[in-house]
Structure 1
Amino acid sequence: MKQVSLLLWVIIWCVAMPFVSEASDLSESFREGVIVVHSKTMAPLSSIGYNGEPKGIVIDVWRKWSEKTGVPVEFQLVQWDETLKRVRAGGNVIHGGLFKTPLRNEFLNYSVGYLAMKTSLVVLKDSPIKNMDEIAGRSIGVLKGGASEEYIHTHHPQAKIVPFNTVLDSARALADRKVEAVFMDYPTIMYMGGSLGAVGDFVPLEFVDPRLLHAAVAKGNDKLLELVNEGFGAITKSELQYIYDHWFVPPAEDESNWVLIFVLVCAGFLIGLVILYFGLPLPQKWR
C-alpha cells in the first residue's frame, strides 16, 4: 500500500513539476520589474504632472496591475511614435495601451482589451464640414504614428493629413484654425480643448465605433504577454470602474442637478437680501 502511495506521489510530482517550474521561471524573469511606455501628453489617459510624476487612467490601471502581480513597474512617458519604437525593440517593455491596427499587427502581440474608447472627427462650431464624407481635400490633424493617422490614410486618402507629435499640438492647431478638423480619441482631444479654454468651440461630428485599448509587447515575447494577461485577469471589474470614474467626466445630465441646486441657492440668497433691505415682515413660522 505504501509503495502504491509512493508511486502515485511520484507520478503527480512528475506531471506537476513542469508547470511549477514554468511559473517559477516566469516570476523569476520579471523579478526586477517591467517598463511600461505611453504618451507624456495624452491626458486623461497619461501625462506628466506638475510634480514630474506620471498620472492618468492608463497609469492607474498599471499601478493596480503591479499591485496584483507583485511585479514593479517603471513608467516611461515619451512622444507617441517613440513608444512604438521602444516596444518594438523588445526586452521587458510593455506598451501601456493602444488600438490594434494592421500595421502594428506586424510587430506587436496584444493583451486582452481593458478599455473601450471612441475616436471622433472634431471641428470648430462654425466649420462648413458636416461629416466624414466632406473631408476630401481638407487639412485633418492626426497623432503622428497613431491609429487615427492610419485610419484616415486608409479610409479617406483624399484628405490632407497633418501629423502632430502630441494631442495638445493638434488641439491648439484646431483652435488657431491651422487645420480644418482633427481626428483623435474623443476623451483626449476634448480634454486638451478644455485646457486651452476652447472646449465650447470644439464640436464632435462623427464617432468611429468604440475600439478596445490593449497592452502590447514585441512580437514573439510570449512570456511577457502571459504575465501581462495574468495581471489583467486579477483586476476586478469594480476596480477598473473605480479608476474610470476617477478620471472620466460624468455625463452632462448628471451635472444638471448641481446647476439647479446652485440656481435655487442663489435665488434664496437674493430673496433674503431683499427682505432684509426693505424690512419686509418675515412669516410667523420663521420668527
Structure 2
Amino acid sequence: MSYFIKKILALIFLLIITPATPAYTEQLIISHSSNMPPLSFINEEGEPDGILVDLWKEWSKQSKMNIVFDLRNWNDALGSTLKGETHINGGMYYSEKRAKKWKYGDYLFTMKGALFAADKLGGEQKIDMQESICGVIKGGYAKNFMEEHYPYTPLMLFESSDKMFETAAAGRINLFVTDYPVAIYQLHKFGIENSFTCIKTLYERQLYPAASKAAPDIIELVNKGIAEIPAARKNIIMSKWLDAETENIWQPKTITTLAAIALIAIIFAYRPETNRLIDFLKSKQK
C-alpha cells in the first residue's frame, strides 16, 4: 500500500473517531451543572442562573458572540463537552487526570472546598473518617480529592447537589465535601444551616473553562473574551452571589449572640440604675 493511500486512510479514521463538535462561529454552547447553586443552576423561572451564568453573559457582551447554556447534572455536563455536543464547560478545577482529556482556558476565579459535618457528631476530633460515610457529587473534584487524600473514607455518590443535601437534611449522611459557596447556599435552602458546620477547608483551587482536546482551538476564542471582562464588572458579579451567601450564614448564628452581648453591656453600663430597680422590685414583693 502506497504512502499516500495510508495517509488518506489515516485521515478518514481520524474523522470517524473524532466527535463532531457543533460550529461555534455564530454562538457558543456552554455546559455546566443544572444543580450546583450558586455556581450554576436552573432558577424558579426555569432559566439558567448563578455566578458562572452571569460571568458568561458578560463574556458574551465583551466578545459580541451569542451564547447558549446547556445545563445538566454534572456528570452528563462533562460528557456533553467531551462528546462534542457542547463547546465548552463553563468552569471546573484542574487535575492531572482531567488534563488527559481536557484543554483548560484562563483562570476565572478561586474557590474553596470544605468538609462539613453534622453538629451532632461532636466536632472534628470525634469523627472517624474511616467509619463515617461522606457524600460527594459524582464526577466532581471533591470525589477525586477524597479518593486521593482519604482513600479509606467510604463515599456516597450523588447525581446532583440537591440529592446530596436532601439526604443530609433527612439525616442519612453526616459528612459531605463540596465547594464552600455551594454548601452555604444549599444548607440555607434546605433549612439545615444550624445543623452542619464547616470543620475543615480541604482545598483552594482556581476554576477554569475547559474544552475537549478534540476541539482545542475554542480555548483561544474563550481566553480572548475572558481577558476583555473588566475587573470591576467581575467583582460586582462575584459580590452579588458570594457576599450575599456570607451574609446569610453570618446572620442566623451571630445575631442572637450579639444581642446578648449588647444587653450585658447595657446592664453593666447602667449598673446603679439596675440595682435600684432590683431593690425596688424586691420591696414590692414584701
TM-score, with length taken from structure 1: 0.75
Amino acid in structure 2 at the alignment position of 1:137: E
Match of 2:47 among 53, 56, 75: 53
Match of 1:125 among 105, 119, 122: 119
Corresponding pairs, count: 234
Name whichever of 220-229 and 131-140 sits farther off.
Answer: 131-140
- The aligned residue for residue 149 of structure 2 is 155
Q: Deviations over 1:159-217 (max 9, x none)?
A: 11100011121112122221220011111022111011111111001102310111000
- The aligned residue for residue 225 of structure 1 is 219
Match of 1:182 among 176, 186, 189: 176
Residue 254 to residue 237, structure 1, CA distance change in 2 (3 Å): farther
- The aligned residue for residue 168 of structure 1 is 162
- The aligned residue for residue 243 of structure 1 is 237
Q: Among the aligned pairs, what percent are the same residue?
A: 25
Residue 224 to residue 92, structure 1, CA distance change in 2 (3 Å): farther
- The aligned residue for residue 42 of structure 1 is 36
- The aligned residue for residue 89 of structure 1 is 83
Residue 31 to residue 186, structure 1, CA distance change in 2 (3 Å): same
Deviation (angstroms), 1:129: 5.2
Distance 2:171 2:52 in 1: 31
Whether the 8 Å CA contact 2:133–2:173 is kept in 1: the answer is yes
Match of 1:134 among 128, 152, 157: 128
Name the SS of the counterpart of 1:197 in structure 2. coil
Distance 1:230 1:54 in 2: 23
Structure 1: where are the runs of 5+ without partners?
1-28, 268-287
Whether the 8 Å CA contact 1:61–1:243 is kept in 2: the answer is yes
Name the SS of the counterpart of 2:121 in structure 1. coil
Deviation (angstroms), 1:133: 7.9
Deviation (angstroms), 1:32: 1.8
Name whichever of 126-135 and 71-80 sits farther off.
Answer: 126-135
Distance 1:92 1:40 in 2: 14
Structure 2: where are the runs of 5+ without partners?
1-22, 264-286
TM-score, with length taken from structure 2: 0.76
Deviation (angstroms), 1:227: 0.4
Distance 2:220 2:36 in 1: 27
Deviation (angstroms), 1:111: 0.8
Q: Deviations over 1:94-126 (max 9, x none)?
A: 100111122211100111111110000001112
Q: Deviations over 1:52-78 (max 9, x none)?
A: 111111000000001111111010110
- The aligned residue for residue 73 of structure 1 is 67
Q: Deviations over 1:126-145 (max 9, x none)?
A: 21451698311210000001
Match of 2:93 among 82, 92, 99: 99
Whether the 8 Å CA contact 1:39–1:80 is kept in 2: the answer is yes
Deviation (angstroms), 1:92: 5.4
Residue 39 to residue 104, structure 1, CA distance change in 2 (3 Å): same
Pairwise CA RMSD: 2.6
1:30 aligned to 2:24?
Answer: yes
Distance 2:213 2:126 in 1: 34
Residue 130 to residue 88, structure 1, CA distance change in 2 (3 Å): same
Name segments (4+ residues, structure 1) moved above 6 Å.
253-256
Name whichever of 243-252 and 43-52 sits farther off.
Answer: 243-252
